[in-house]
Amino acid sequence: MDTVHALILLSFITFLHLSQNLLVEAANGGFSVDLIHRDSPQSPFYNPSDTIYDRLSKTLRRSSSRINYFRSLSKSSSSFNTTFIRSEVIPNGGEYLMSLSIGTPPVKLLAIADTGSDLIWTQCKPCEQCYRQTTPLFDPSESSTYRDLSCESNPCTALPQASCSDSRKCEYSYSYGDKSYTNGVLAVETLTFASSARARSSVKIPKISFGCGHNNDGTFDSHGAGLIGLGGGPLSLISQLGSSIDGKFSYCLVPLQKTTSSSQMDFGDSATVSTPGVVSTPLIPKDPDTFYYLNLESISVGEEKVELPSLEEGNIIIDSGTTLTFLETNTFSQLESALRAVINLPPAEDPTGTLQVCYQLGSDAELPELKFSFTDAVIILPPLNTFIQVSDDVVCLAIIASDSFSIFGNIAQQNFKVGYDLVGKKVSFAQTDCTKS
């Protein structure tokens, strides 16, 4: 890290430290919120005329598009010193929604919760250009707690995608891979998080930096009102909450077949994973700091072990917004061979055209467990976490080959409580029934 970046980071840490005394409610044992899968009947994206296979097909397409986001952001990280960066990300790239309110008095939002990005943003009045939104747009002029941030502010300095207006306001600009975009002003505001179905009360958190978007258009869906960045960068919700949650958050994702139940995300004390059988693996520091990197050492099918050819530190990203798991091409080929050797079912084609290893289902179908061996942690994944039924008579491996990133996706994480400890620099896994957790 060079001197300039070290000073930026130090200034931002100081800013966070001065803000921590305001996060009283969040610090008192933490808080919990519901995560709603976008294909759940609880979601405004839900289309009752779609079959379960229609929804699955859309989920798989989103997953395949999302890896382009990781690839492009990784390339842009080498350009950190440039004044302006155009991020090629996917506007509908998350799979889970979070309910919250912004401002005083509070205005309700439903935003994508995304562990693969940092910036929090929503559409704001007045709009030069806004996509249609079914919920009211946030009007900063009606909130007593809204403040624009200056170009000299620490959050603005920490944001590569920022520039300075003639009036010295901090302006941001994101351009998406499908030509969608959001442009606006970086500001601070009070966020109120609705309590989860299992929690007792909502939590109000002041002075959170966010993007107030005055010019947004493209393929954004009218049901969504922005994005909550949960990545590892300095402007993410996790980093801004900082010591008030002791650097801890977790989630427990219900299986895709049971999305009538909401998943849950915990912050602070309640995010600690301490149940019997918990295993932990180190978080690996790496650029860009948005992503959460782990070391995957091998994958086992029965007695057959597939060793990863790359010894690079942080060779796989864990992400809740990517449905499928992606593996480097050579590793995937070895895994495919190991599976073909033990699965006694006729091969089949995926009707969605996305998945690469599929079988014709039979009455005696038996699918193997897979062991994912991370540094210091072995996770045993039953077929629920590694196979998905794509039609009445075809089941496919929920893992595909990638020529760039490896990603540990959310199907693999279903029915596990997954806890992130950014102070202890580790991720923990405990097998759990997430419909009851």
Kindly report the CATH number assigned to the domain that includes residue 403: 2.40.70.10
Q: In 3D, which of 282, 281, 289, 283 has the Cα closest to residue 231?
A: 289
Q: Are residues 164 and 285 in the same domain?
A: no
User: Are 112 and 131 contained in the same domain?
Assistant: yes
What predicted TM-score, i.e. pTM, was given to this entire model? 0.86
* 436 falls within a domain: no
Mean pLDDT of 15-21: 36
Q: Hey, CA dihedral for 55, 59, 64, 69, is it positive or negative? A: positive
pLDDT the model gives residue 74: 59
- 226 and 293 in a single domain? The answer is no
Q: What's the average model confidence in pLDDT over 354-362?
A: 92
Among 240, 266, 292, residue at a domain's last position: 266
Write out pLDDT tens, residues 26-65.
444 688 999 988 888 888 888 888 888 888 888 787 776 6
Which pair of tokens denotes residue 122?
């929503």
How much is the pLDDT for 286? 93
Q: Which residue has the higher pLDDT, 94 or 208?
A: 208
Quote the CA–CA distance of 415 and 299 in Å, as a whole number: 19
Cα angle vertex 131, ends 125, 136, to 5°? Answer: 45
- Name which of 68-77, 162-171, 356-365 the model is least confident about: 68-77
Of 36-45, 64-73, 148-157, the one with minimum mean pLDDT is 64-73
Q: How many domains does the chain have?
A: 2
The residues that bridge with 86 in the sheet, in sequence order, are none
Q: Residue 88: how many CB atoms within 10 A of its CB?
A: 17
Can you give the pLDDT at residue 177?
A: 53
Predicted local distance difference test score (pLDDT) of residue 437? 66
Least confident segment among 80-89, 210-219, 369-378: 80-89
Helices (H) and strands (E) in the chain, counts: 8, 28
pLDDT given for residue 169 in this prediction: 95
Element (H or E) spanning 337, and its range? helix 329-342
* Conformational region of residue 353, where left means phi above 0, alpha means psi within -120 to 50, and beta covers everything else: left
Q: Domain check: are 262 and 377 in the same one?
A: no
Listed residues 266, 288, 303: the one ending a domain: 266
Residue 344 CB partners (closer than 8 Å, separation 6+): 366
**In the predicted model, what is the mean pLDDT of residues 15-25?**
36
Asked, for residue 314, whether it belongs to a domain, the answer is yes
Q: Is the pLDDT reported for residue 10 higher than 60?
A: no
Residue 336 shares a structural domain with residue 192: no
pLDDT band at residue 176, thresholds of 50, 70 and 90?
low
Distance CA 252, CA 265 (A): 7
In this structure, are 234 and 378 located in the same domain?
no
Query: In terms of domains, do 294 and 412 share one?
Result: yes
Question: Contact at 8 Å (CB) between 395 and 388?
Answer: yes
Domain contains 177 = yes
Chain-centroid distance of CA 310 in Å reads 25
Q: Which helix (H) or strand (E) holds 305?
A: strand 304-307
| Higher-pLDDT residue of 411, 82 | 411
Both tokens of 175, joined, read 């351009």
Cα separation, 33 vs 16, whole angstroms: 22
Considering 266, 285, 317, which residue would you say is the last residue of a domain? 266
296 lies in the same domain as 389: yes
Dist CA 297 CA 99 (whole Å): 37
Looking at the structure, do residues 178 and 300 belong to the same domain, yes or no?
no
**Does residue 173 belong to any structural domain of this protein?**
yes
| pLDDT > 60? residue 214 | yes
Q: Are residues 74 and 222 in the same domain?
A: yes
**Whole-angstrom distance, CA of residue 397 vs CA of residue 336:** 9
Indicate the SS3 state at residue 133: coil
Q: Give the per-residue pLDDT at 61.
A: 77
236, 16 contact by CB (below 8 A): no
Question: In 10 A of CB 351, how many CB atoms?
Answer: 14
Per-residue pLDDT, 104? 97
- Residue spans of beta strands (DSSP E) within 46-169: 96-102, 107-114, 121-123, 147-148, 162-164
What is the model's pLDDT at position 89? 36
The pLDDT tens digits for 371-430 are 999 999 999 999 999 999 999 999 999 999 998 889 999 999 999 999 999 999 999 999
Across-strand partners of 428? 280, 419
Out of 103-112, 264-273, 422-431, give the one with best mean pLDDT. Answer: 422-431
CA-based max dimension of the chain = 70
User: Quick check: is 437 in a domain?
Assistant: no
For the chain, give the mean pLDDT.
83
Residues with a catalytic annotation lie at 114, 319
Domain assignment present for 212: yes
Radius of gyration of the chain (CA): 21
114-138 pLDDT per residue, tens:
888 888 999 999 988 888 888 889 9
- Is there a domain that residue 167 lies in? yes
Separation CA 42–CA 48 (nearest Å)? 11
Task: Write down the pLDDT at residue 373.
Answer: 97
Task: Please tell me the predicted confidence (pLDDT) of residue 68.
Answer: 65
**pLDDT of residue 1 exceeding 80:** no
Task: Determine the pLDDT at residue 417.
Answer: 96
- pLDDT for the residue 16: 38
- What is the mean predicted confidence (pLDDT) over 183-196? 88
In a domain, 271, yes or no: no
Higher pLDDT, 190 or 199: 190
Q: Do both 349 and 248 map to the same domain?
A: no
Look up residue 120 and give its two tokens. Answer: 């929090």
By the 8 A CB rule, do 323 and 310 touch?
Answer: no
Which residue range forms the structural domain that includes residue 344?
276-431
* Comparison of pLDDT for 199 and 50, the residue scoring more: 50
Q: Are residues 196 and 293 in the same domain?
A: no
